[in-house]
Structure 1
Amino acid sequence: MPSCRASEVSLIVRRVTTAITVTVSLVTAAPVAHGQQSIDNALQGAISAYEAGDVAGAERTLRPLAAGDPEAAAWLGATLLKRGDKAAVTEAIRLLQNAAGAGNARAKYLLGFQHAIGQGVPSDLTRAAQLFQEAATAGIGRAAYNLGVLYAKGRGVAQDPTQALRWYERAAQAGDPYGAYAMARATELSPQATTRAAEMAQAYRAAAEQGHLPAAVRYGVLLAEGRGVRKDPAEAERFLRHAAGNGYAEADVIMGDLAASTAMGSRGEPARAAAASAIGWYTSAANKGVALAQFKLANALFAGAGVERDMPKAEQWYERAARQGFDEAQYVLGVWKSGGVASAKDPVAGYKWLLLAERQGNTNAGKVRARAAEKLSSSEISQAQADAAAFRAQPERPLGRPDDEAPPLKPMAPKR
């Protein structure tokens, strides 16, 4: 079987990093044979210890069970992988291979994941896809989700968005929050977004209630807009605050947008209070490194909307967003640097930022850059072009796009 390069693996690892936790259940549990109840109780105790982070306790309970029970062997394999040292990983792979050979779905899923990341076995996305499909067919929801990711990326299988959506849907049906989110997101970005809005909203909610923070944000947006679900601003705020309170900074941006919308539709003190709230949310997200929030905060500082006008500070925020590669900020910064709007003129730097924005498809930047070129010498243009060529975006957050995340789950508290 062909092995894959580390760069290929990295394209899916961001999506499937949390899969090793193995918190999903089989859709249909195997029947309990007479006389097996004590073994099953012991296994359940070990699983509970594993999920609570007691790896040593789980291992002690699982070792005597694993010899005659492929399911216990699979869980022992998961426990040893959690331990992580070389000897533990080697033993885990042996256990998983034997259990998978005996037909155990959980072992197939875990072994597939190891092939996907190349730990303890050769990196082989084709083999990973085969094992994920076998496990998914047997009811492992996370395996169905990971297989959907491989189809979406064309890794180990031919790229096929239709198949990706099919497996996302299967994962969602098995109760996997990542599958539910992926299905809903793929639907929202498709031509079916309007006709399947209710189904999309339901999937977002299911994932959000299990603690998927991006799903909580998307469901909050749908509630705020009344799209696929009855409009409910208070409930929208509950989901968004849950995500924001658990550190998902993109939720801060949406809360800021909702407050800004309220400010524009109000007058007097309510408008001022809403505008100040928007600034607070944008500032929170901007300080956490969200480029869009940095850009919006810069706009507010430039306009004096909800905050005292401060051009130098606005330029600082534009530059932070621009250095992350945000093209709108690069465009504005290029205009400002070229004209000396908030600081000393720097036509070469201005040309560089305009060129960078233009290369990302910003047509306004292209028009301004063409006019700016008329005022620069050939050596200045060459310098700006060299600076642009040397530019590398510097993301302030580990992941540039929230859709690429497989975030830790943060279950929501029951509604009061």
Structure 2
Amino acid sequence: MKQMTWPCNSDGHHHFSSLPFFRKPQESPIPAKPSKSHLSFFNSAPKSAPNPPQGSDFSALPYDVLARIAASFALPSLKTASLVCRAWRDALKPLREAMVFLKWGKRFKHGRGGVKANSRKALDSFLKGAARGSTLAMVDAGLIYWEMGKKEEGIAWYRLAAELGDPTGQCNLAICYFQAYPSKTTEAIGWLYQASFAGHVRAQYQLALCLHQGRGVGRSLPEAARWYLRAAEGGYVRAMYNTSLCYLMGEGLVQSHRLARKWMKRAADHGHSKAQFEHGLGLFSEGDMMKAVVYLELATRAGERAAAHVKNVILQQLSASSRDRAMLLADTWRDLPAHPS
């Protein structure tokens, strides 16, 4: 996905930027779109539980309704729901089967679990899981199609997952519209709002960027900052960095250097290279040379060239033992885990 940066300062330095979302498309001969054959479960499932016992609201819930409710469930939730009653266990069987195909699809996609990476087999597994009603499999199938350059197929699967209430499908669909169908920007914003209110941190971040720029929605710095903050609190690293900038510059949030520093450090500790550079500069200005060198070294290794010059200036002021200690800390550094989405 071509990286887009919104907005930028007049000095030309881009601060608020979006994450690249898709990898370079790959060629593949496999064609498919959601169809009646792919959605055989929704077409063939009984419309209601057979002979539900009197007075049992749970078991009387129609199979197709239950399947749609549980379409985005992962395996632990499916197992729990299957214990409610026999009718639920029977109704959710296709979705439990879908989890097996989803697991194999991820193995083939990433070359894990003793198998070689094979995108064709991965897609086949995801499609089998999608046919059983799992929106998780639909999203993964959509992503593979998009990576292949088959945008229509990818969007079709994302849209189906989105309509079934899957937040990742909603977010991915919105980003696809931004990329391929600018005329659908307003619809894309609607999907971002749905995913954001469901707690999807990447959607919250993308929505904040749109509100910050005024893309497809009225520009609102306070609302943008609120969504940056929610995504940051949810563990989204770029949102941590942007939240820090909002506090630093007083854009949409009450200016607070203390909170700006807090979120800049969090972003740096989670591996954001620009945050590592800027946090290192802040430590340098406060006289904490040792820690400053560590963060500046990390930023340098991540490609922030300007950090190298400042780091070298500081190193000249440190003893040989302090320099060695700083480099050892950088060598053994481990980023804090970030939100996977």
Structure 2 length normalisation: TM-score? 0.61
Aligned to 1:161: 221
Task: Identify which of 28, 31, 43 aligns with 2:102.
Answer: 43
* Matches for 1:86-105 after TM superposition, within 5 Å: 88-105=150-167
Unaligned 5+ residue runs, structure 2?
8-13, 24-71, 83-94, 324-331, 336-341
Q: 1:413 aligns to what SS in structure 2?
A: coil
* Matching of residue 236 in structure 1 with residue 295 in structure 2: no
Kindly provide the amino acid, as one letter, of the partner of residue 268 in structure 2: A
Task: Identify which of 33, 36, 42 aligns with 2:78.
Answer: 33
Aligned to 1:247: 303
Identity level (%): 22
Residues 240 and 263 in structure 2, CA contact (< 8 A), matched pair in contact too = yes
* Count of paired positions: 245
Quote the Cα distance in structure 1 between the aligned partners of 2:230 and 2:216.
19
Residues 204 and 215 in structure 1, CA contact (< 8 A), matched pair in contact too = yes
Structure 1 pair 124/29, CA: closer, same or farther in 2 (3 Å)? same
Quote the Cα distance in structure 2 between the aligned partners of 1:11 and 1:62.
32
Residues 101 and 128 in structure 2, CA contact (< 8 A), matched pair in contact too = no
String of CA shifts for 1:227-281, please: whole Å, max 9, x gaps.
Answer: xxxx632222112111111222132244256468x5xxx9xxx9xxx9xxxxxxx
Residues 105 and 134 in structure 1, CA contact (< 8 A), matched pair in contact too = yes
Q: Of the two, which has the highest radius of gyration?
A: 1
Kindly provide the amino acid, as one letter, of the partner of residue 116 in structure 1: F
Quote the Cα distance in structure 2 between the aligned partners of 1:182 and 1:241.
22
- Shift in Å, 1:100: 0.9
- Shift in Å, 1:182: 0.8
Q: 2:199 aligns to what SS in structure 1?
A: coil
- Shift in Å, 1:219: 1.9
Quote the Cα distance in structure 1 between the aligned partners of 2:110 and 2:256.
35
Quote the Cα distance in structure 1 between the aligned partners of 2:163 and 2:313.
53
- Shift in Å, 1:203: 2.1
Task: Identify which of 182, 202, 227 aligns with 2:242.
Answer: 182
Structure 1 pair 164/193, CA: closer, same or farther in 2 (3 Å)? closer
Task: Identify which of 44, 60, 63 aligns with 2:127.
Answer: 63
Q: 1:58 aligns to what SS in structure 2?
A: helix
Kindly provide the amino acid, as one letter, of the partner of residue 248 in structure 1: E
* Matches for 1:132-281 after TM superposition, within 5 Å: 132-190=192-250, 196-226=256-286, 232-255=288-311, 258=314, 262=317
Quote the Cα distance in structure 1 between the aligned partners of 2:104 and 2:288.
41
Quote the Cα distance in structure 2 between the aligned partners of 1:217 and 1:185.
14
Give the helix-richer structure, 1 or 2: 1
Structure 1 pair 38/152, CA: closer, same or farther in 2 (3 Å)? same
Structure 1 pair 177/48, CA: closer, same or farther in 2 (3 Å)? farther
Unaligned 5+ residue runs, structure 1?
1-8, 22-27, 275-411
Aligned to 2:169: 107
Aligned to 1:74: 139
Aligned to 2:34: none
Kindly provide the amino acid, as one letter, of the partner of residue 106 in structure 1: T
- Shift in Å, 1:154: 1.1
- Shift in Å, 1:113: 0.3
CA-atom RMSD in angstroms: 3.5
String of CA shifts for 1:124-148, please: whole Å, max 9, x gaps.
Answer: 3322222111111112211111111
Structure 1 pair 195/152, CA: closer, same or farther in 2 (3 Å)? closer
String of CA shifts for 1:14-55, please: whole Å, max 9, x gaps.
Answer: 93351337xxxxxx9866112666643653554466567957
* Matches for 1:282-297 after TM superposition, within 5 Å: none
Residues 170 and 192 in structure 2, CA contact (< 8 A), matched pair in contact too = yes
Structure 1 pair 169/29, CA: closer, same or farther in 2 (3 Å)? farther
- Shift in Å, 1:176: 0.8
Residues 247 and 259 in structure 2, CA contact (< 8 A), matched pair in contact too = no
Aligned to 2:20: 18
- Shift in Å, 1:187: 1.4
Quote the Cα distance in structure 1 between the aligned partners of 2:184 and 2:145.
21
Aligned to 2:191: 131
The farther-off stretch of 126-135 and 157-166 is 126-135
Kindly provide the amino acid, as one letter, of the partner of residue 102 in structure 2: L
Residues 265 and 275 in structure 2, CA contact (< 8 A), matched pair in contact too = yes
Structure 1 pair 80/238, CA: closer, same or farther in 2 (3 Å)? same
- Shift in Å, 1:225: 3.0
* Matches for 1:341-380 after TM superposition, within 5 Å: none
Kindly provide the amino acid, as one letter, of the partner of residue 232 in structure 2: A
